[in-house]
Structure 1
Amino acid sequence: MQDWSRYWRSPDRPIEAMHAHFERHVYHRHSHDTYSFGITETGAQSFTCRGSAHTSAAGMVMAFNPDDPHDGHATDALGFTYRIVHIGQELVADTLADVTGRRSGLPLFAAPVVDDSALASALHALHQALLSDGTSLRRDELLARAIATAVGRAATRRVAPPEPPTGAARVAHQARQLLRERHLEDVTSADLAEATGASRFGVYRAFRATYGLSPSDYQRQLRLGSARRLIASGLPLGEVAARTGFADQSHLTRWFNRYFGLTPGAYRDAAGSGVIPS
């Protein structure tokens, strides 16, 4: 079977969804600033997350917190089919507040793979409504159900307010702030060292230990995030590539596909309903 993917994104809320089958595709190590919940439908997907190897087989759910670095590939030659939905942190917080009647900390999912049929069913229903043009009211109902089910059955605790970072975490935090502010610029390792007061290798080591990515991978991820926003705004792909630090449209397309499993053009057209070969 040929690799394929189908993508949907909301025009006005931080929620996106993909249905895909991959045999050859390999995800580059990356993270999302959203919560991401995947349901494996057939086959099995293997990936590393938080320093350990995991496999999600048919019927299992993958639960990624914001900024959880992970990769992914088919466990065997038969490939895997899965659905995944990405939900913004504020949307999760707002939905939980609606469901519970009070605001509390964001949820934390300790296990990247959850074997829970009720959760898989709730996520599958939400995903189908998103990709099949369900009504807005139905999507909202299923979103509330899916988030409440995920938190009730798989979350281990709420995220505590962050404490001021110290040591290596402080170095990594300062480097990340600089990259967020200047990710479209040609930032050097010397720039990061100067901003943090650490050596060049010290910055690299602290960043990898804290965030699970190298500074250059994180910068590329930020650039791809900017590219997604510009693509959604309707900017031509060649201009998107030029604005976000990629050599040309082919360079952007290659990295976009490795991170997200679809081409920039497919992402641009994601409001449609076609199946997109990868």
Structure 2
Amino acid sequence: MHAHFERHVYHRHSHETYSFGFTEEGVQTFTCRGARHRSAAGMVMVFNPDDPHDGHAADDVGFTYRMVHVGPELVADVLAEAGGGGLPLFTEPVVRDVELARALRGLHEALVGGASALRRDELFDGVVAQVVRRGGGGDVYGDARGVEIEAGRVVREVLHYSDDLGITAGELAAAAGRSRFAVYRSFRAAYGMAPSDYQRQLRLRTARRLLDEGRPLAEIAVMTGFTDQSHLTRWFTRYFGVTPGAYRRAVGS
């Protein structure tokens, strides 16, 4: 992702990946892990998988940033080859490190600029190791998720693997064996958002995948449970920062 925003406001969301990026110009502000953060030029942003956050410009000038989303399995591969342990859990979403920002820029430019596969691999391995070394806390992501509230985990599994877009709070409570209130509270504690928000996010990820496959937008809206094409476009833009049409042109599908 490489974008400039002035008025766009990201809806609270999370990614299934690690997200490593930096602010090139301006200042952006966002809420993550219960606190408000600011990222100015040269600062690095680090999000764990399922870290809920929002985001917008801190002033009328706007901000420009680059972001690389990396699957946990790729991070695990790099760390395993380097003799590391489990997946890292980053405790601070903003790191003041100009050198790391420079390394991320090099990786981003290589990924989008046609560098050789060998060069991309070399930069990728180096940046992942550098991010973990400079920005990672002492915890391990897998261990931290082991203490999740069980009801929240069960609900997440149901939302991920259920094809029923009309699933109710009562059905989620029954699956978890808890009251509706307990399920809601547990899920928010574990994932930072309501089950309904998480479900919409999953539907939007599915819509993005279907766009990659070249499906018509109106068909995608029906398949993912949105009222119509306009309804899907509004939410897609709030979550991903671009319209479905702009996304499709960017990925060439």
TM-score, length basis structure 1: 0.85
- Taking every aligned residue pair, what percent have the same amino acid on both sides? 60
Partner of 2:42: 59
Name which structure has the greater RCO, CA cutoff 8 Å, separation 6+. Answer: 1
2:211 to 220, 224, 231: 231
2:132 to 139, 147, 151: 151
Let me know the Cα RMSD of the aligned residues.
1.7
Partner of 2:190: 210
Measure the CA separation in 2 of the matches of 1:269 and 1:96: 34
Measure the CA separation in 2 of the matches of 1:69 and 1:191: 24
**CA 1:163–1:146 in structure 2 vs 1: closer, same or farther (change >3 Å)?**
closer
Q: Is the 8 A contact 1:183 1:222 kept in 2?
A: no
Q: Is the 8 A contact 2:37 2:94 kept in 1?
A: yes
Q: Is the 8 A contact 2:6 2:63 kept in 1?
A: yes
Deviations 1:62-112 (A, max 9, x none): 1000010000010111111111110111111112233x1x36211121110
Query: Which residues in structure 2 correspond to 1:111-150 (within 5 Å)?
Result: 111-150=92-131
**CA 1:40–1:79 in structure 2 vs 1: closer, same or farther (change >3 Å)?**
same
Deviation at 1:133, TM superposition (A): 2.2
Measure the CA separation in 2 of the matches of 1:150 and 1:30: 22
Deviations 1:101-150 (A, max 9, x none): x3621112111000011110110101111222222222111111111110
Query: Which residues in structure 2 correspond to 1:31-46 (within 5 Å)?
Result: 31-46=14-29
**CA 1:183–1:82 in structure 2 vs 1: closer, same or farther (change >3 Å)?**
farther
Q: List runs of 5+ in structure 2 lacking aligned partners.
A: none
Q: Is the 8 A contact 2:27 2:40 kept in 1?
A: yes
- Structure 2 residue 160 is the aligned partner of structure 1 residue 180: yes
Measure the CA separation in 1 of the matches of 2:117 and 2:159: 37
* 1:206 alignment partner, SS class: helix
The aligned amino acid for 1:61 is V
Q: Is the 8 A contact 1:35 1:66 kept in 2?
A: yes
1:83 to 61, 66, 89: 66
Q: List structure 1 segments (4+ residues) > 6 angstroms apart after TM superposition.
A: none
Partner of 1:109: 90
Measure the CA separation in 2 of the matches of 1:219 and 1:197: 20
Measure the CA separation in 1 of the matches of 2:100 and 2:236: 30
Deviations 1:20-68 (A, max 9, x none): 1111000000000100012101111100001111000111011000010
The aligned amino acid for 1:156 is G
Partner of 2:247: 267
Aligned length: 251
**CA 1:37–1:163 in structure 2 vs 1: closer, same or farther (change >3 Å)?**
closer
Q: List runs of 5+ in structure 1 lacking aligned partners.
A: 1-17, 273-278
Structure (1/2) with the larger helix percentage: 2
The aligned amino acid for 2:238 is R
Partner of 2:223: 243
- Structure 2 residue 52 is the aligned partner of structure 1 residue 72: no
Structure (1/2) with the larger strand percentage: 1
Q: Is the 8 A contact 1:165 1:173 kept in 2?
A: no
Partner of 1:7: none
The aligned amino acid for 1:264 is P
